[in-house]
Structure 1
Amino acid sequence: MSNNVYACTLPGNSAINAFSDEVQRNTLRWVQKFDLAPQFKPMGWYTKAQFGLQAAREYPNADFKQLCLAGDLLTWLFTVDDTCDRGSDGAEAAVAMKAMLYEFIDILEDKREPSENKLSNGLVNVLDRFRAISSPFLYRQFCGHMIDYLKECFFEIDMQLNKYVPSIRKYFEMRPFGGFYIMFPLVAIFERFSLPAEVYEHETVKEIELILNLLGCFSNDLHSAERERKLETIGFNLIFIAQRELQMPYEAAVQYVADYHDDYLLKLDQCMSKIPYWSKSINEQLDRYIQGLYTMVRGYDDWAIIDTGRYKSA
């Protein structure tokens, strides 16, 4: 089975924001402003990654300032993600990376001011800008997802450092925190929705968010598998976890994840039919929110597969 079979099966619209090129240039200016290159990655890495284009794919209707904020957040997240990968190289690197992660969490919880760490200063800049345009509820939700992601980074560092292969059950427990949750509140923040907290927290809405998150993760695993197979250390990928736990050949494990992908598409349809009715205004906004989540997850897939070939084998 080709790892491109599932290139276009994620739900959602495929579009690119008109500010894409300008925002891409802005992300590079942001990298320079906070001196992320070359300490963390060379400037060429940021140029090739096209995080501004990623933001334009995920939020095709955002205005310029909103899109710049999304692009800067994505730049920060992928820098942290890559730095965590290098933090798995040995015990000393892991200690240094974990200290940085603890500082990020303290900043998100308003427990301390940033140190001289350049990534900490970049995080504060992003948070200040989100605080200025978000409702208190959505800002707290965003920060909560950020903290969950950073805690999942601890898990992945230890997983790589200790050569630990998690179980399928552990994958479903931990993988969503490193998936797409962080980017979901941006849909509501950018659209300035006025949905009550009880709507966001309703069990059906939360289930839809989880399903869309996992659909994005399954797609990521399917597309990245061929590249990851050639790496010395395999990442947090359900294909390789299933291959080991269920003692199946690689191709069977690929089909196993593809079947999960299809099953979750069906689950998504079932959940959509269970959305309760609150009022005309609330349900219209909720529908736009969910469609925005579809577009966000699909946008990531299009950026990774179509625009950048991120998962192609080296």
Structure 2
Amino acid sequence: MEEILKTEKHCYEWAKKFDLIMEKTADKKFKGSKFGLLICYIFPTVSFERRCLAIDFFNWLFFVDDLVDNKKDLKDNPEKIKIELDKFKTILDNKSLPGVLQSSISIALWDVWSRMKKITSEKWQLKFRNTVLLYFDACYLNALNKRSHNLPNSVEEYSKIRRHSGAVMTSFNLIEPLLEIQISQNNIDLQNLVNYCNDHICFINDLYSLKKELTKGEVDNIIVILQHSNHYSLREAIDHAVVLINNRMTQIKNFVDKLMQFSLVDQDTIKYINALIDIMVGSFYWHKISGRYSTKKDKRMV
């Protein structure tokens, strides 16, 4: 409990330091989201110093998500969203162009990225940068889909987009520097495990954020896709989503069992696999406790 409170305190103070929390209502909402708890759940064995690096990045990421979804001059405007996200890309490219560091959220990214570079290799930085850029591309694509009412036609098509729009891969990328390990991504079974853990986390998020997203007309949600592609009622789509989540859990167990059977699996890979499971399970429990996806009117949808 002491570590959780310590992490939550750092999380709040970092956000305030960069003026990311401006109003009393936002202050209360931020504390209710329990971002510090999330990091303690998904990286339980990481030192406090490195945990702070993770929470500061995720802190920034959640504010970007809110910026894209809620800012009046960006909301439902894919072109303006792309322009705003390109400014962050400039920072990740280690460029200092005029006007880029004028906003609080840009300065906050510069801070956390500068600290990340101190403990990582250029190879890792490039991989992480590319993962974040895929998240930016998915944000832009979702804005286009929302404006044109153009939805993916299958779970498989949706999953390919969602694996990037959920930004879950950034947490998977952080495993190596936070745990001080190195792994090879050439193992097909390991990559499948990564994808299915990603899907599980995103589908869980879709369930918990559904009420909030339906009120905003969001389309980046597995339940919305199931309704559209299968002509389901809302109840049928939710039930099918639960089946998909359970199926992913079975597939994850099968891949973990298969990977662990090989004597050639090194200790770093074992640590990486265990960390994937920590992130998946920790994310699930955080969703159950966090107030981030609550709505003002807590009414049943179905």
The alignment's TM-score, normalised by the length of structure 2, stands at 0.86
Does 2:107 match 1:121? yes
Deviation track 1:25-81 (CA, whole Å, cap 9, x = no partner) reads 112221122122228x83333222221121111111111111111111111001000
Q: Which runs of 5+ in 1 are unaligned?
A: 1-15
Does 2:229 match 1:245? yes
Partner Cα separation in structure 2 for residue 312 and residue 257 of structure 1: 20
Does 2:94 match 1:99? no
Tell me the residue number matched to 1:268.
252
Partner Cα separation in structure 2 for residue 61 and residue 90 of structure 1: 38
Tell me the residue number matched to 1:33.
17
Does 2:274 match 1:291? yes
- Correspondences of 1:1-314 after superposition (within 5 Å): 18-38=2-22, 42-87=26-71, 94-113=78-97, 114-168=100-154, 169-179=156-166, 180-195=168-183, 199-229=184-214, 231-275=215-259, 277=262, 279=264, 283-305=266-288, 307-314=289-296
Partner Cα separation in structure 2 for residue 45 and residue 234 of structure 1: 21
Contact 1:135/1:189 (<8 A) preserved: no
Question: Once the 2 structures are TM-superposed, how far is the Cα of residue 164 of structure 1 from its aligned partner?
Answer: 3.5
Partner Cα separation in structure 2 for residue 37 and residue 221 of structure 1: 25
Relative to structure 1, the CA distance from residue 243 to residue 32 in structure 2 (aligned partners, 3 Å threshold; closer, same or farther) is same
Equivalent AA in structure 2 for residue 132 of structure 1: K
Aligned residue pairs, count = 290
Relative to structure 1, the CA distance from residue 309 to residue 45 in structure 2 (aligned partners, 3 Å threshold; closer, same or farther) is closer
Contact 1:225/1:237 (<8 A) preserved: yes
Equivalent AA in structure 2 for residue 97 of structure 1: I
Contact 2:68/2:75 (<8 A) preserved: no
Partner Cα separation in structure 1 for residue 74 and residue 128 of structure 2: 31
Relative to structure 1, the CA distance from residue 96 to residue 35 in structure 2 (aligned partners, 3 Å threshold; closer, same or farther) is farther
Secondary structure of 2:266's counterpart equals: helix
Deviation track 1:221-252 (CA, whole Å, cap 9, x = no partner) reads 223334444x1413411111111221122221
More helix by share: 2
Question: Once the 2 structures are TM-superposed, how far is the Cα of residue 87 of structure 1 from its aligned partner?
Answer: 4.8
Equivalent AA in structure 1 for residue 49 of structure 2: K
Tell me the residue number matched to 2:299.
none
Equivalent AA in structure 2 for residue 128 of structure 1: S
Contact 1:239/1:250 (<8 A) preserved: yes
Relative to structure 1, the CA distance from residue 293 to residue 163 in structure 2 (aligned partners, 3 Å threshold; closer, same or farther) is same
Considering Cα pairs closer than 8 Å and 6+ residues apart, tell me whether 1 or 2 has the greater RCO: 1
Equivalent AA in structure 2 for residue 308 of structure 1: S
Judge which range, 85-94 or 118-127, deviates more: 85-94
Contact 2:138/2:164 (<8 A) preserved: yes
Relative to structure 1, the CA distance from residue 149 to residue 88 in structure 2 (aligned partners, 3 Å threshold; closer, same or farther) is farther
The alignment's TM-score, normalised by the length of structure 1, stands at 0.83
Judge which range, 55-64 or 208-217, deviates more: 55-64
Question: Once the 2 structures are TM-superposed, how far is the Cα of residue 278 of structure 1 from its aligned partner?
Answer: 7.2
Relative to structure 1, the CA distance from residue 248 to residue 97 in structure 2 (aligned partners, 3 Å threshold; closer, same or farther) is closer
Relative to structure 1, the CA distance from residue 26 to residue 90 in structure 2 (aligned partners, 3 Å threshold; closer, same or farther) is closer
Judge which range, 167-176 or 70-79, deviates more: 167-176
Relative to structure 1, the CA distance from residue 143 to residue 150 in structure 2 (aligned partners, 3 Å threshold; closer, same or farther) is same
